[in-house]
Chains A and B, each alone.
Chain A
Amino acid sequence: MVAQRPKSTSSGKSSKGGEKAKGPDPSLSHTDVLPDVPEDIFPMVLTSATQELFECRADEDVTQNNPYKLLKKDDILHDMKARAAVSDFHPVKQTVLNYPGEELLLVFDRDFKYGQSFYLVLTEEAKQRILQPPVSTDEEEPEEESEQYVCRTPEPQQPWVSLGSELEIEEESVKDTRERLKYLVSRVRKKFGAPVNFTDRNALESKEGYIECTSYQDRNFRLIQMERNSATQAVLNLKSSATQTQRTFPRNMYTQYKPRELTEEEKENYMSSENLKNFASSAFSRFEIAIQQNKIMDVFFDDWQALSEGDIAFGGKADTYLKEYQSFTDLQFSKDKSISCIKWHPTISGVIAVSVTEKMSFEERINGSTKLLLNPPLILFWSFSDPINPQLRLECPDDVLSFDFCPSDPNIIIGGCMNGQIVLWDVTAHAQRLHGKRSGERRTTSAYPGSFMAFEEDKENEIPVLLYCAVSSIENGHKAPVTDVQWLPENFEISITGVPVENQNQICVQVVTCAPDCCVMFWDIRAPRPAAHSQAERKQKMEEKQLENPRGIPNTFKYLDLSWKPLIKVMLPKTDASGEYSPLKFSLRDNIHCSRPRSGKDKSVKTTDRPEGKVEYALLRVPSEKQLKPLEDISTMFCVGTEDGELVYTSWKLGKDDDSGRLLSGKPSRCFIVHDSLVNTVKRSPFFKDIILTVGGWNFAVWKESVMNGPIILSPCSQKRCMVGCWSLSNPGMFFIGKEDGNIEVWDLLEKTHEPSHIQNISTASITCMKPWIISSKQHFLAVSDDFGTLHILQIPWTLRNPSSSESSVNKYFEKEVTRLMFFDKRKETMAKQKTATEAEEQKKKTELLVPEKLSEKTEEESLAEYESYLTLEKDILKEMGVSLQEEDKPSNEV
């Protein structure tokens, strides 16, 4: 009954429109409602009873995933028979009857695709179709339906919201804007089948042969990318962060705190607690042991080292031997002559200068004066590098008894002569030569370049001779041989009145000299302030002198030559008697340039103050007194050793004499006669500013400047005369004495004070001068000169140069001596007092005897009274001692 038309499954999309699938019989009204139901499927409703019967309960036996259920045809027929019109299968009764197969497919239509919850597949083919390839049929069928019938879809759908995408889709989609035109092109009929003729033609023949489109860059169309498709990807938020340590800089921080302290009460509490008591007693035992241990023996004391020190102090004689390092003598110049003064060059190491004098008495000098004039006396410069030939010779007007290098400029040398003149040399020109020439081959040009005749002359010419460049004026200088010359240090200078004032130039400009003509003179090497008339004179002199300069004398001190006057003349009047002292040697307190070699540090300090370059002494002027600032801390006191063996302590300041209005020197404060003969050495210790060694006659003495009573140490008289003395530069408390028999005595005050610790014989002649010097820490030298004209350089051994005694111990020794001296003086005083007292008493007694004797009664009374007093005294004493015989019941005081 039901007209079935098998639907072709492979029908395309562009199927005929309007063709409707005529479904099953029109009695099925739901086909109008659901036009997309295919013919061979019958949607139907199954009641729950039917469902249970056929075991196709919704969502239990049949599910979404398993919607197919095969039903037996017989069962359906049976059901139809059973329930007739009520049966669900009633509408498809006929179909079922006609169904060829045995089983019918019932599909659970969960989604109500065809309007009902189940549908029955009516044909065998459809059944197969559904079961076997269920996927494709399922897909295609809905598509087909949706394409034909646009509006309705079985599923409930949301109304479509346009978001603007259809515009783009429409833009992108290709649509026919107009109908496609169809052209039919055919040839002319007559040419069909006609023979064809083909020819060739070259394309390049004619321009129209081909059309070419060459490419060119059309600048109108520069492609600019206005739009760019780029993909974006969503990622997690990235965050970059950095960290850097804070720059810290050092900063001062302070905390202020106070220590915790207990109050007095708390302290009391603690102190009285039992706890502390126990602790103290227990701790005490430990401490006792520890403290006593320390007392018994010092565990950390190094015996070994201490042992060695003790040994050295009592070292053998061999160790203290002064080894002869070198000896200088010149056959020509220093033979049979005596060396009067030695001076080490202050800056150049290994250079030493000696002044050579004739060994003649005054008579002989007068008699042989012509000979003396021909052979002028010299100062020789010796260098360690050349033991045979002296380096330099300085010519002197007369025998030089004392000379000195200028501390600030070692090229200036000042000397004092036997005729009372002061001489100045300037060796700047030969300074290079003195600076250590190793070999003897190289010699600089001589004074006389032309003559190389005889060997002797040659040799003589090779040692340069330098003439003095200035001498003092004869009338104004000393009247006796100048015995001591010293430069004043550069930190102060003396004004006209003798007041020490500040030295603005910071170089040494003043010299002090003394001579037995009873005066000490201060000289200034600068030009004196010009007076009007003398300038003309000097100019004249200058011109004259410039003309005659044959021997190459340097012009440094031309202005002084023969007109040099002393700045100050200090007379030394005697304290108690009239007359004056005749000084031989002196020593200033603040003369820092004693024989100690300057260390490098001092040098550097000096050069910063000193003006650079060579000083033009001619340009320096003695400043007026008002400009200069007086220095307070420079002491104006100095010690002088005299011809008579006295030590005079006086000041050089000139005071105004009320009577005459002239400047006169004051009387010396102290004067001591200690030595038996003339004093030949007055030297300050390099370690102690106020300790002075004086040597003269047959003994020597050590003085302390502040102690005015006498020498703190006085040596016993020796058998030979002491000729010279000098302090050791490295060992405080040690000094050397040179003797008449050529011995050198080494005195160590801390070892032995009654005799020298070491005696050594150097030469057979008498020692004339000694000077110690330190070249390096290993080389300590002692330059000794003798009466034969030989200069010996001795090396001081380690035992002597090692400071075995420290300064403090030597100081202590000196202090002890001072106290001893004081004690003796006091004793003397007390003794004197006592003596006077006893004398007075004796005098008294003598006078008393003359007085008539006392009455005997009185004397008896007196004796009784005395006896009584004696008894009471006895009682008291016994009582005190507790041995009282009379009163035993009184308690005795036990002390």
Chain B
Amino acid sequence: MAEVEETLKRIQSQKGVQGIIIINAEGIPIKSTLDNSSTVQYAGLLHQLVMKTRSTVRDLDPQNDLTFLRVRSKKNEIMIAPDKDYFLIVIQNPSD
């Protein structure tokens, strides 16, 4: 557990990082640095998005798989790293 915490701290300490969320394969948040309502909202929405993206990538080429997803918006950037069992979501504001 300590290693995970340490990794999270290292990410958090980067400039502009607003929040980190770890969710399991079903989309239930395990750990988060944001408040509960935002966490739940992010988890629910991004989980579906990653599923969709992954299936898209696999459809185009079955040998392929999704490794990283970056969603850039006007205000910030959301980065998601998917895995078999977990997703790690980081929200960063690049312009600060």
Q: Which residues of A contact B (CB under 8 A)?
A: 259-262, 267-268, 270-272, 275-277, 279-284, 286-288, 290-292, 294-295, 298-301
Contact = CB atoms under 8 A, between A and B. Distances in A.
A286 B89 CA distance: 12
Contact of B40 (A259, A295, A301): A259
Interface residues of B, number: 38
B70 interface: yes
Interface in B1-29: 1, 3-5, 7-8, 10-11, 14-17, 22, 24, 26-29
7 contacts: A268-B1, A275-B85, A275-B86, A287-B88, A291-B79, A299-B72, A301-B95
Nearest to B70: A290
B30 interface: yes
Interface centre among A259, A275, A295, by most chain B C-beta atoms within 10 angstroms, is: A259
Given A261-B40, A276-B85, A300-B72, 9 more contacts: A270-B24, A276-B86, A277-B4, A279-B83, A280-B7, A281-B7, A287-B81, A287-B88, A288-B11
B11 A291 contact: yes
Given A267-B31, A276-B86, A295 B4 contact: no
B4 A291 contact: no
A286 B72 contact: no
B65 interface: no
Contacts of B44: 259
Chain B contact surface mostly = mixed
Contacts of A281: 3, 7
Contact of B81 (A262, A272, A283): A283
Nearest to B88: A283
B86 A260 contact: no
Contacts of A288: 11, 14
B28 A260 contact: yes
B86 A294 contact: no
Contacts of A275: 85-86
A299 B94 CA distance: 10
A294 B83 contact: no
Nearest to B85: A275
Nearest to B17: A291
A501 B11 CA distance: 62
Contacts of B68: 286, 290
Contact of A286 (B67, B85, B86, B94): B67
Contact of B11 (A261, A287, A300): A287
Interface centre among A259, A282, A287, A290 (most CB of B within 10 A): A287
B83 A283 contact: yes
Contacts of A270: 24, 30-31
A271 B29 CA distance: 11
Contact of A261 (B14, B28, B67, B88): B28
Interface string B25-41: 01111110000000010
Contact of A262 (B28, B70, B79, B94): B28
Contact of B94 (A267, A268, A282, A294): A294
Contact of B79 (A276, A287, A295, A298): A287
A279 B30 contact: no
B90 A291 contact: yes
Contact of B26 (A260, A271, A277): A260
B77 to A, nearest CB: 6
A272 B77 CA distance: 29
B43 to A, nearest CB: 8
A300 B72 CA distance: 9
Given A279-B86, A279-B88, A281-B3, A295 B14 contact: yes
Contacts of B27: 260
B1 A271 contact: yes
A298 to B, nearest CB: 5
Nearest to B30: A270
Contact of B30 (A267, A284, A300): A267
A288 B88 CA distance: 13
Interface string B62-96: 00000110101000010101010110101010110
Given A277-B3, A279-B83, A281-B7, A294 B92 contact: yes
Contacts of A301: 95
Contacts of A267: 30-31
A63 B30 CA distance: 99
B3 A298 contact: no
Contacts of B7: 280-281, 284
Nearest to B72: A300
B4 A280 contact: yes
Contacts of A280: 3-4, 7-8, 22, 88
Contacts of B5: 271
Q: Which of B17, B27, B79, B81 has the most CB of A within 10 A?
A: B81
A262 B10 CA distance: 25
A287 B12 CA distance: 11
Most chain A beta-carbon neighbours within 10 Å: one of B8, B67, B88: B88
A290 B11 CA distance: 11
Nearest to B15: A295
A283 B7 CA distance: 10
B1 A272 contact: yes
A592 to B, nearest CB: 36
A294 B92 CA distance: 9
Contacts of A282: 83
A286 to B, nearest CB: 5
A767 to B, nearest CB: 46
A281 B88 CA distance: 11
Name which of B16, B17, B28, B72 has the most chain A CB atoms within 10 A of its CB.
B28
A839 B92 CA distance: 58
A762 to B, nearest CB: 45
Given A262-B30, A295-B14, A298-B95, A287 B1 contact: no
Contact of A295 (B29, B70, B90, B94): B94
A259 B42 CA distance: 11
Which one of A268, A286, A292, A298 has the greatest number of beta carbons of chain B within 10 Å?
Answer: A286
Contacts of B4: 271, 276-277, 280
